[in-house]
Amino acid sequence: MCGIVGYIGKRDAYPILIKGLKRLEYRGYDSAGVALISNNQELNVYKTKGRVSDLENFVIQKDISGNIGIAHTRWATHGEPCSLNAHPHFSSSEKLALIHNGIIENYAVLKEKLQSKGYLFKSSTDTEVLVQLIEYIKISNNLDLLTAVQLALGEVIGAYAIAVLEKDHPNEIIAARKSSPLVVGIGQDEFFLASDATPIVEYTDKVVYLEDEEIALIRRDMDLKVVNLNNVEMTPEIKSVKLNLGQLEKGGYPHFMLKEITEQPDCIHDCMRGRINVEGSNVVLSAVIDHKERLLNAKRFIIVACGTSWHAGLIGKHLIESFCRIPVEVEYASEFRYRDPVIDSSDVVIAISQSGETADTLAAIELAKSRGAFIYGICNAIGSSIPRATHTGSYIHVGPEIGVASTKAFTGQVTVLTMLALTLAREKHSISEEEFLRIVKELNKVPEKMKEVLKLNDKIAELSKIFTYAHNFIYLGRGYSYPVALEGALKLKEISYIHAEGYPAAEMKHGPIALVDAEMPVVVIATQNGLYEKVLSNIQEIKARKGKVIALVTQGDTFISKIADYCIELPETIECLDPLIATVPLQLFAYHIAVCKGMDVDQPRNLAKSVTVE
């Protein structure tokens, strides 16, 4: 999720652009850049790896004059974070400069077409392909920029929010969007452009939210003009922004954590985008294609991770062993790195990390690598240390996760692990084609089912009020839901500071049930999958000791609703996908309890978003 800012008007553009980029830095950054048409009609592009402050240092002594410009903070999707891959990107003639937020799925085909016509590329980004395509269409058909952009976007498959400057037309910015947001701010003889209203609200409260496949022609000397890809003029609706700045950075949510819980359907869709085809008949992970033999011939997989990522690893174990019949061990990275493990070149290590900077996980990778193991990374932060330390891997593409308590990254990790297990199983023929297609079909439905669960937010908020002052919780699950119980307990612990323990449900009899009395709330994941009858018995054991049971059940369950104290009904899914559905109510439950307790939900005490030290 990159940040876009643009300005054209009576003021110097650069200060407005830089301030706007800083407002958008929460969206994630790994590089930043700016394009300005200077007072002496030069089109200057300055860009660098790192934060916006690094860009400010980079432009010292440079010509940053001009009252028209575009700027960008990048959250890398194609191509590592570096100055070459940073935006803006020049066209070959250096008369066009473009910035982009989104993913162009057919960029490789377009790139080949342009290379066959002699175009050269400096970066490995999909964005550079787009600006070259626009220039190719413009020159070869002798068109104006707006028409060239319309035709070029008609060839693009994927998501985009773009802004384009043309050196020879210093009075206009062309902007367009599809699936990635773009807002035009309307001031007094000046216009603003941004990925969201955050950088705009301090200058004007009048905004136009561009709709999909709309193109804005933003000129100093005329009203905003909006057309669609067929050049049909649209009537833009000018809205007044009511939100304050703090709220806007959270997309209108009170906390990043709630925003990130709520955006999971879109994030999981993004995670699967380009990897599962629309028909649901195939799953493709480029890392598996590139390293198929090494992965399929592994004697065993060892998953190393910490915290929430370790919980995802437990689910990954179950998936890979069930689908691929390859043994999987799951290790706390902090333990693995110091216990002199038996490991060699027949092993594949999967390192899971949202931040890609966790010290213990990095150390575990280096140890495993030193003993010949093949390392597969599953990370969110593109270009971070762990992806650079691994032999291959798959990004989860859920966008920056700001809340310290991990939510969308967990479901993104589980989604990638599911796709990894499916692709390997298909190659090994260890599951039938019918089973493969059944699972993929269900996996494609997960975003919609997550949306169903999110509609329970108010009900879960009400339920959380009853338990706000509990001192202890037990979370129980079996099979695929046991790691979900652990994850639910961790969410509650880390943001509400209530002591909570997750257990395999059957373990209660081996001691923990001594804890159960009328004061002990017990959350049980009791969906109608796997060992449902056994879980039913476990609930009865809890009730026999007066424990308060909060049960997560499958919609329409009539058994458990009779014995549990509270039930949260979830849409039905298949057993191996239960974690993707059952985790969401537990995230909301922990969130609302913490809010009721007045906790600092996004930055809980004692915790850091990335544990980069031991």
Minimum CB separation of residue 523 from ligand AGP in Å reads 17
Minimum CB separation of residue 414 from ligand AGP in Å reads 13
Nearer to ligand AGP, 405 or 560 (CB): 405
Nearer to ligand AGP, 64 or 490 (CB): 490
Q: How is 122-163 classified by DSSP, letter by letter?
A: SSS-HHHHHHHHHHHHHHHHT--HHHHHHHHHHT--B-EEEE
Nearer to ligand AGP, 5 or 404 (CB): 404
Nearer to ligand AGP, 361 or 554 (CB): 361
Helices (H), 331-456: 333-336, 359-370, 385-389, 408-428, 433-454
Kindly list the strands in the beta sheet with 233-234, ordered across the sheet, starting from the edge strand earlier in the chain. 89-90, 96-101, 160-166, 172-178, 214-219, 225-228, 233-234
The whole-angstrom separation of Cα 1 and Cα 24 is 10
Question: Nearest 5°: CA angle at 362, between 358 and 365?
Answer: 145
Nearer to ligand AGP, 33 or 403 (CB): 403
2 belongs to the catalytic site: yes
Instruction: Exactly one of 95, 451, 459, 609 is catalytic; name it.
Output: 609
Q: Are 58 and 48 in contact (CB under 8 A)?
A: yes
* Nearest residue (beta carbon) to ligand AGP: 307
Nearer to ligand AGP, 473 or 566 (CB): 473
- Strand intervals (E) in 339-409: 347-353, 374-379, 392-395
Nearer to ligand AGP, 114 or 495 (CB): 495
Residue 600, SS3 per DSSP = coil
Minimum CB separation of residue 551 from ligand AGP in Å reads 24
Minimum CB separation of residue 363 from ligand AGP in Å reads 12
Task: Using only the alpha carbons of the chain, give its radius of gyration.
Answer: 26
Minimum CB separation of residue 403 from ligand AGP in Å reads 8
Q: Are 573 and 446 in contact (CB under 8 A)?
A: yes
Minimum CB separation of residue 353 from ligand AGP in Å reads 3
Q: What residue type is 433 in one-letter code?
A: E
Q: Which residues bind ligand AGP (CB under 6 A)?
A: 306-309, 353-355, 358, 361, 404-406, 494, 610-611
- Exposed e or buried b for every residue in 297-321, given b needs 16+ CB within 10 A? ebeebbbbbbbbbbbbbbbbbbbbe
Minimum CB separation of residue 499 from ligand AGP in Å reads 16
The two beta strands, 191-194 and 183-186, are: antiparallel
Nearer to ligand AGP, 111 or 408 (CB): 408
Instruction: Exactly one of 2, 267, 271, 324 is catalytic; name it.
Output: 2
Q: Does 88 sit behind a cis peptide bond, omega within 30 degrees of 0 on the bond before it? A: yes
The whole-angstrom separation of Cα 587 and Cα 492 is 8
The whole-angstrom separation of Cα 370 and Cα 264 is 37
Minimum CB separation of residue 524 from ligand AGP in Å reads 21
609 belongs to the catalytic site: yes
Residue 195 Cα to chain centre, angstroms: 16
The whole-angstrom separation of Cα 233 and Cα 225 is 8
Q: Which are the catalytic amino acids?
A: 2, 609
